[in-house]
């Protein structure tokens, strides 16, 4: 799962495209850790390993992992499990993390937990929990910039007994302010989902700082690995004639990063597999950049690059 920057010269019989894979594209550290843990467990124990939710938001990688015994289940299935199920498979908590209620339920059902929550997410959960306990006696609020319903965000909101206010974008924030759902007279603590856009988060924080009567606590909680990719991808998109962005359809990070590429290069195309590549996207001799989300496996980036090279 190692990431590296490489160039693939186009096939002489094809369009002569110059193809380059962006050096930092592919799994982030948290996803590498979770998938590696699942692979080791299945290699050593065989059988089945249950993952609460998709371990990674990429259909091709999920299909590969399913082939070696990893089965994604939802909360509805977990509620029907008991200690007897645990003899067949423990429960893997993916890198996105879970709210405290999930751990309590697993303990109640007698199910062993393999916790693969990303360390960055774990620290964020703890910081939100501490801020909530500190602000609640004063009527304060926790604001989380993130995608409503996203697995990581559900785990973050769970640290506040469900009381945190999730803001998806600037129009939503302005709507909440207009509706009086945020009290400008009370203390605020602002956090971000780890994979969100740093620039958009800065705008949201600036709006709250200018509006609130009490200086809000602003926490820098976007993963540094994710944040650094924004400037790198911006340059990468501008350096190439065409960008092919490889991502799963459900990847929140994929949507953010592919939109970033598209802002810097309108000729950005999203694909989930090599089969979706359209030869009409490319002109002879062009420079093509291949990149992907933190949930995109390196092997899939290689396959897409090879498919473009062979055109």
Active site residue 112: no
Task: Kindly report the pTM of this predicted structure.
Answer: 0.84
The per-residue pLDDT for 245 is 97
- For 83-142, the pLDDT digits (tens) are 555 556 789 999 999 999 999 998 888 888 999 999 999 999 999 999 999 999 999 999
Q: Which of 152, 203, 215, 275 is catalytic?
A: 152
The per-residue pLDDT for 49 is 93
On the CB side of 20, CA atoms within 13 Å amount to: 16
Give 65's contacts (C-beta < 8 A, 6+ positions apart).
Answer: 35, 38, 39, 55
CA separation, residue 126 to residues 122, 151, 165, 188, 299 (Å): 6, 16, 17, 17, 34
The per-residue pLDDT for 1 is 38
The distance of Cα 154 from the centroid of its chain, to the nearest Å, equals 13
d(CA 256, CA 24): 16
Q: Which residues of the chain have pLDDT under 70?
A: 1-14, 82-88
With b for 16 or more beta-carbon neighbours within 10 A and e for fewer, the 142-175 pattern comes to bbbbbbeebbbbbbbbbbbeeebbbbbeeeebee
- Look at the block and give the residue holding tokens 């908590």: 93
Structural domains present in the chain: 6-27+224-309 (3.40.1010.20), 29-117 (3.40.50.11270), 120-218 (3.40.1010.20)
- H helix intervals, the chain: 29-45, 59-67, 75-79, 83-88, 100-109, 119-135, 151-157, 170-178, 198-211, 224-239, 252-264, 298-309
CA separation, residue 78 to residues 98, 102, 172 (Å): 13, 9, 33
Residue 56, classed as helix, strand or coil, is coil
């Amino acid at each position: 799962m190692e990431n590296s920057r490489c160039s693939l010269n186009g096939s002489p019989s094809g369009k002569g495209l110059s193809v380059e894979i962006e050096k930092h594209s592919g799994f982030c550290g948290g996803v590498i850790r979770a998938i590696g843990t699942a692979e080791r467990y299945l290699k050593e124990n065989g059988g089945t390993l249950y993952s609460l939710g998709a371990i990674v938001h990429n259909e091709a990688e999920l299909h590969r992992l399913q082939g070696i015994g990893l089965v994604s289940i939802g909360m509805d299935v977990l509620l029907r499990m008991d200690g007897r199920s645990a003899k067949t498979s423990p429960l893997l908590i993916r890198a996105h993390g879970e709210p405290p209620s999930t751990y309590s339920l697993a303990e109640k059902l007698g199910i062993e937990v393999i916790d693969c929550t990303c360390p960055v997410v774990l620290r964020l959960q703890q910081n939100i929990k501490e801020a909530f306990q500190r602000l609640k006696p004063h009527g304060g609020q926790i604001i989380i910039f993130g995608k409503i319903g996203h697995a990581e965000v559900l785990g973050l909101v769970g640290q506040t007994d469900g009381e945190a206010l999730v803001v998806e974008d600037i129009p939503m924030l302005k709507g909440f302010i207009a509706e009086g759902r945020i009290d400008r007279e009370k203390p605020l603590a602002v956090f971000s989902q780890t994979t969100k856009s740093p620039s958009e988060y800065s705008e949201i924080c600036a709006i709250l700082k200018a509006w609130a009567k009490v200086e809000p606590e602003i926490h820098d909680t976007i993963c540094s690995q994710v944040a650094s990719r924004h400037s790198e991808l911006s340059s990468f998109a501008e350096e190439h004639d065409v960008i092919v962005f490889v991502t799963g359809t459900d990847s929140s990070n994929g949507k953010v990063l592919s939109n970033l590429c598209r802002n810097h290069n309108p000729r950005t195309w999203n694909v989930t597999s090599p089969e979706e590549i359209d030869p009409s996207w490319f002109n002879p001799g062009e420079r093509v950049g291949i990149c992907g989300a933190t949930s995109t496996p390196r092997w899939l980036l290689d396959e897409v690059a090879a498919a473009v090279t062979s055109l």
